[in-house]
Amino acid sequence: MQRSMMPGLLQPVTVRRLLAACPWARGLTKRLVTGPNWSDVAPVVDALVGRGLSVRVVWLQVDSRSTDQARWCRDQYVAVIDQIAARQLADTVDLEINLATIGLLVRDGERETVDNARQLAARARELGVRLTCNTSHPWLAGKTLRIIDQIRQDFPEVGYVLEAALKRSESDCLASADARVALRKGMDHRRPGQALFASRHDVDLSYVRCLRLLMEGSGRPEVVSSDPVMLEIAQELAAHTNRGIDDFEFIMPYGIRRTEQERMADLGHRVRVSLPFGEATSDYLVKQWRIHGLLVMMRAWLSRR
C-alpha cells in the first residue's frame, strides 16, 4: 500500500471501525495504549520505572471546542500532575499536554490557552513535575509557538515538540537552541497550503538537520524516535558537539522496541517511554500509522469489506 493512500484509509472513523471489527487490532491497541484512566497507567508506570526507564505520560483526549471543556481538561491535567507528585515520581515521570485540549481551537481561545497552560505550569513547578507542550494540529505551528513563547516567559522550564516534517522547523529549531525541545519526525497531517516535505527521505534529512541545530545549542534536545538509524545519528551528533550522556535524552513509544529501550538505558542513556492513556485511541493510532502491524491488519480487514 502506498504512502499516498494512507490519509484516506487511516482516518479516525476508519480506525474506530477497525478496532471494533478486528480482534487483532484490539490486541494491538492494548499493546500501545495503557487504558482509558489513570488507574490503568499507574501500574505500568511503576513497571517501567522499575526497569530503569523514565516515562512521559500522554493523555489522549479529544480537542476542546468550548471554554468549559478546555477548563475541564485543564483540571484533568492538574489531577495527573498531582498523582505523579503524590507517587513521588517527579524525578522520572513527566507530562505532555496537548494545547488543543485546553483552548487552542476555541474561538478567540489564545488567551484561554495561555492562561490554562500557565496554571498547569505553576502547579507543575510547585510539585517539581516537568511539562512538555504539544498540539495535535501541527499545521497551527505558528500559533502554537506564539502561545508557547508566552508561557515560557514565566516558565522557561516548559518544553515543547517540533516536527521535522514541517519545512519551517529548521528555523524553529535555530530559534529554540536554548530550550528543551522534543524533536519528532511528524506524521501525515496533510492539509491544503501546508509546507511539508513530500517524502520520507526528505523528512529524515530534515530531522538530522534539526537535531544538529538542537545539539549545537545550549538547550536540552529530546530525540523522539524508535528508528535505529536516527538513534545512532543522535549519539554521533551528541559526541560531535561534546554533549555528555546526561545532556540529552531519547523518547520512545510504549509497546515498540522494548528490548532496545532497556538496552539504551543500560548504556546509561536517559530513555523516556511515551505512555499514552485515554479514550481518544483511534486518533493516536492514526498518528502511529507507520507501525507495520497495524497496516497488515488493516489490509486484511479492508480486503474482506
Over residues 102-147, the pLDDT tens digits come to 999 999 899 999 999 999 999 999 999 999 999 878 778 899 999 9
- The answer to whether residues 196 and 296 belong to one domain is no
Confidence of residue 19 (pLDDT cuts 50, 70, 90): low
- The answer to whether residues 110 and 128 belong to one domain is yes
- The answer to whether residues 10 and 113 belong to one domain is no
- The answer to whether residues 144 and 156 belong to one domain is yes
- The answer to whether residues 99 and 25 belong to one domain is no
- The answer to whether residues 89 and 12 belong to one domain is no
- The answer to whether residues 243 and 133 belong to one domain is yes
Task: Give the residue-averaged pLDDT of 177-196.
Answer: 78
- The answer to whether residues 104 and 208 belong to one domain is yes
* C-beta of residue 14 within 8 angstroms of C-beta of residue 235: no
Percent of the chain with pLDDT over 90: 68
Q: In b/e form, how buried is each residue of 259-295, taking b as 16+ CB within 10 angstroms?
A: eebeebbeeebbbbbbbbbbebbbbbbbebbebeebe
Helices in the chain by DSSP H: which ranges?
6-9, 12-21, 23-32, 38-50, 67-86, 110-127, 141-154, 169-175, 200-216, 228-240, 258-266, 281-287, 292-303
Least confident of 40-44, 188-192, 287-291: 287-291
pLDDT of residue 289: 46
- The answer to whether residues 13 and 113 belong to one domain is no
* C-beta of residue 93 within 8 angstroms of C-beta of residue 45: yes
Task: Give the residue-averaged pLDDT of 260-275.
Answer: 95
Q: How many domains does the chain have?
A: 2
271 beta partners:
250
Residue bearing the bigger pLDDT, 151 or 196 = 151
Would the pLDDT of 300 be above 50? no
pLDDT of residue 7: 43
For residue 243, give its domain range. 37-278
Q: How far apart are CA 8 and CA 218, in angstroms?
A: 41
- The answer to whether residues 80 and 4 belong to one domain is no
- The answer to whether residues 13 and 96 belong to one domain is no
- The answer to whether residues 241 and 299 belong to one domain is no
